[in-house]
């Protein structure tokens, strides 16, 4: 049994969906679980609907609707029942936004944004059927059981494994939604942005899959993001440990939560291109030697560097530090880099102003706080001097931090 995951970019238009069907025919898919994300940028569009709804602006579904109906018209005859199914899903959103919100933003978000994945999987499933690829559409909310941490739900592993065993077998093609789950009280949840990779890993784990393949519009994991570097190279093979490091430092190709379940069962993870399916892509395996061995560059933009010192210039002592950490946790800010000196402690985080502004004002109650924003964090794994020169080149570096394998720079743009 294999697990395939197709992201939003792979199903962004009718041609993409046709390509998936051709790819499955070529691969001779037989014993397969397929996870699909929302079409193209649907999740962003639905986020906007939720925000407008929650802010009491008039939410508008027209763009999402046009986008989906245009694809349907290219793929299906007007009389196909998929038109009704898609219509019903839009009606669900319309109902959800009819009355003023009664619950938290995160709850409303999950009820509405999750429909993106229901739409895409209904469409892909119907199209595969039409092309002769028999498949069973599974509602992920019947298998992925979570707690009620809306927008970032935690998996209830026992229940999830039981449900997957009940509903998915080794025989045939099963197709389900990434990113979404359900509480035991039957409320829809989501697993965090880009969570579809994680869904694929959960299925791989529960099904003891041979391999999980993430199909992307790039050739695999590259040693740098082509938006910032023009001489990127493909990583052919790496270990789970290395993949976790790269994902942790912000490499965008796979969601960091994806790796743990696969590592636990030693299921290989392949990242390859749906445009060049004959190419091997990148394979991530337990203890695999990194091939080729070379520096990897990870760029994170829109960073804020917050420097915290005690009002009386005393040392930043342990109890200060534990309190400071608890505030970062309280506002859900993951620390990308930190450094301390005798009198101050500096932390670099993503500048999400919804979180950083209240954090800074709370920090100011007890400490002296200074910050710089609009910064970039560059991490180089397996650095050498040439790699450093490439990045540093006339930039004004605010912080540099180095360990044996990794060097990080925070610089202003
Ligand atoms: N559709 C969701 C998102 O865009 C989940 C995913 O694509 O993995 O974040
Ligand atoms: Mg996506």
CATH assignment at residue 407: 3.30.2130.10
Residue 66 lies in a domain: yes
Q: How confident is the model at residue 315 (pLDDT cuts 50, 70, 90)?
A: confident
Starting from the CA of residue 194, give the closest ligand: 1
192: left (phi over 0), alpha (psi -120 to 50) or beta: left
Q: Which of 188, 209, 230 corresponds to the end of one domain? A: 209
DSSP secondary structure code for residue 398 in this structure: E
Q: Report how far apart the first and last C-alpha atoms of the chain are (Å, whole number).
A: 47
Tell me the whole-structure pTM to 2 decimals: 0.88
140 pocket-lining for ligand 1 (C-beta < 6 Å): no
For the chain, what percent of residues have pLDDT higher than 90?
Answer: 88
Residues 183 and 303 in one domain: no
**Is 230 a member of any domain?**
no
Question: 187: how many CB neighbours lie within 10 A of its CB?
Answer: 17
**Last residue of some domain: 171, 189, 209?**
209
Q: Is the pLDDT of residue 43 over 80?
A: yes
Question: What pLDDT was estimated at residue 340?
Answer: 86
- pLDDT digits over 155-188, tens only? 999 999 999 999 999 999 999 999 999 999 999 9
Q: Which atom of ligand 1 is nearest to the CA of 179?
A: 5
In a domain, 216, yes or no: no
Give yes or no: residues 313 and 199 share one domain.
no
Q: Within this chain, do residues 78 and 174 fall inside the same structural domain, yes or no?
A: yes
Ligand 1 lined by 40 (C-beta under 6 Å): no
**In the predicted model, is pLDDT for residue 207 greater than 90?**
yes
Pocket lining: 37 vs ligand 1, CB cutoff 6 Å: yes
Kindly indicate the confidence band of residue 313, based on its pLDDT and cuts at 50, 70 and 90. confident
In tens, the pLDDT along 46-61 reads: 999 999 999 989 999 9
- Ligand 1: centre distance to CA 199 (Å): 11
Domain-embedded: residue 285: no
CA dihedral 310, 313, 318, 319 (to 10 degrees): -40
Q: Ligand 1 within 6 A of 110 CB? A: no
194 CB under 6 A from ligand 1? yes
Mean pLDDT of 5-10: 97
Q: Which atom of ligand 1 is nearest to the CA of 196?
A: 8
Residues 300 and 201 both lie in one domain = no
- Is 203 in contact with 161 (CB distance < 8 Å)? no
**Domain range enclosing 408:** 296-412
User: 309 and 202 in one domain?
Assistant: no
Q: Residue 126 has what pLDDT?
A: 98
Q: Are residues 192 and 305 in the same domain?
A: no
Domain assignment present for 247? no
Q: Which atom of ligand 1 is nearest to the CA of 117?
A: 1
Claim to verify: residue 198 and residue 344 sit in the same structural domain:
no
The larger pLDDT score, comparing residue 75 to residue 353, is at 75
Chain position carrying tokens 């994806």 = 258
In the predicted structure, residue 199 carries a pLDDT above the cut 90: yes
Residue 221, in any domain of the structure: no
CATH of the domain at 129: 3.40.1160.10
Calculate how far, in angstroms, residue 99's C-alpha sits from the geometric centre of ligand 1: 27
pLDDT reading at 70 higher than 80? yes
Pocket test for ligand 1, best of 10, 12, 37, 255 (most atoms within 8 A of CB): 37
Report CA-CA distances (Å) from 7 to 16, 213, 253: 11, 11, 11
7 Cβ closer than 6 Å to some ligand 1 atom:
yes
Residue finishing a domain among 209, 224, 257: 209
Selection from 375, 371, 370, 366 nearest residue 395 by Cα? 375
Query: What is the rounded average pLDDT of the residues 201-215?
Result: 97
Could you report the per-residue pLDDT of 217-254, keeping only the tens digit for each? 999 999 999 899 999 999 999 999 999 888 888 887 78
How high is the pLDDT of residue 111? 97
Q: What pLDDT is recorded for position 249?
A: 85
Instruction: Say whether both 13 and 150 belong to one domain.
Output: yes
Residue 84 lies in a domain: yes
Task: For residue 296, report the phi and psi dihedrals to the nearest 5 degrees.
Answer: -115, 140
The β-bridge partners of 380 are: 297, 407
- Is residue 118 a contact partner of residue 179, using CB atoms and an 8 Å limit? no
Output the pLDDT for position 202: 98
363-412 confidence digits (pLDDT tens): 999 999 999 999 999 999 999 999 999 999 888 999 999 999 999 999 99
Helix (H) or strand (E) holding 263: helix 259-265
Q: Which two tokens stand for residue 318?
A: 């342990």
CA distances from 301 to 153, 273, 348 (A): 26, 26, 11
337/204 same-domain check: no
Would you say the CB of residue 43 lies under 6 angstroms from ligand 1?
yes
Q: Between 114 and 317, where is the model more confident?
A: 114
Instruction: Tell me the average pLDDT of the chain.
Output: 95
Same structural domain for residues 321 and 183?
no
What domain count does the chain have?
Answer: 2
Same domain, 195 and 68: yes
The answer to whether residue 251 is domain-embedded is no
8 C-alpha to center of ligand 2: Å?
5
Do residues 203 and 302 share a domain? no
């Amino acid at each position: 049994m294999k697990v395939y995951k197709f992201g939003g970019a792979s199903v962004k238009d009718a041609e993409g969906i046709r390509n998936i069907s051709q790819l499955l025919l070529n691969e001779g898919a037989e014993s397969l679980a397929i996870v699909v994300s929302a079409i193209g940028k649907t999740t962003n569009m639905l986020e906007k609907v939720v925000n407008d709804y929650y802010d009491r602006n008039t939410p508008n579904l027209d763009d999402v609707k046009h986008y989906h109906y245009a694809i349907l018209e290219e793929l299906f005859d007007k009389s196909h029942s998929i038109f009704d199914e898609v219509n019903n899903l839009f009606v669900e959103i319309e109902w959800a936004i009819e009355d003023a919100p009664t619950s938290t933003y995160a709850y409303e978000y999950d009820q509405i944004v999750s429909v993106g994945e229901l739409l895409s999987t209904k469409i892909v499933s119907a199209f595969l059927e039409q092309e002769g690829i028999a498949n069973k559409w599974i509602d992920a909310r019947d298998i992925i059981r979570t707690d009620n941490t809306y927008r970032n739900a935690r998996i209830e592993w026992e229940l999830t494994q039981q449900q997957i065993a009940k509903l998915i077998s080794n025989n045939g093609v099963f197709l389900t939604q990434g990113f979404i789950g359900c509480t035991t009280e039957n409320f829809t949840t989501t697993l965090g942005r880009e969570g579809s990779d994680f869904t694929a890993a959960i299925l791989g784990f529960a099904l003891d899959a041979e391999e999980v393949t993430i199909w992307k519009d790039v050739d695999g994991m590259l040693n740098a993001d082509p938006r910032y570097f023009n001489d990127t190279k493909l990583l052919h093979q790496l270990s789970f440990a290395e993949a976790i490091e790269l994902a942790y430092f912000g490499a965008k190709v796979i969601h960091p939560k994806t790796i743990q379940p696969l590592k636990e069962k030693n299921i290989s993870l392949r990242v390859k291109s749906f445009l060049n399916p004959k190419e091997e892509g990148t394979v991530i395996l337990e203890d695999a030697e990194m091939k080729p061995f070379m520096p990897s560059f990870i760029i994170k933009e829109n960073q804020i560097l917050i420097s915290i010192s005690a009002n009386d210039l005393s040392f930043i002592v342990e109890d200060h530090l534990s309190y400071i950490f608890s505030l970062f946790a309280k506002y859900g800010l993951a620390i990308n880099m930190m450094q301390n000196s005798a009198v101050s402690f500096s932390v670099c985080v993503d500048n999400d102003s919804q979180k950083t502004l209240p954090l800074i004002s709370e920090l100011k109650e007890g400490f002296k706080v200074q910050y710089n924003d609009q910064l970039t964090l560059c991490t180089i794994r397996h650095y050498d001097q040439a790699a450093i020169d490439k990045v540093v080149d006339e930039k004004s570096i605010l912080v540099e931090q180095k360990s044996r394998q990794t060097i990080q720079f925070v610089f202003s743009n």
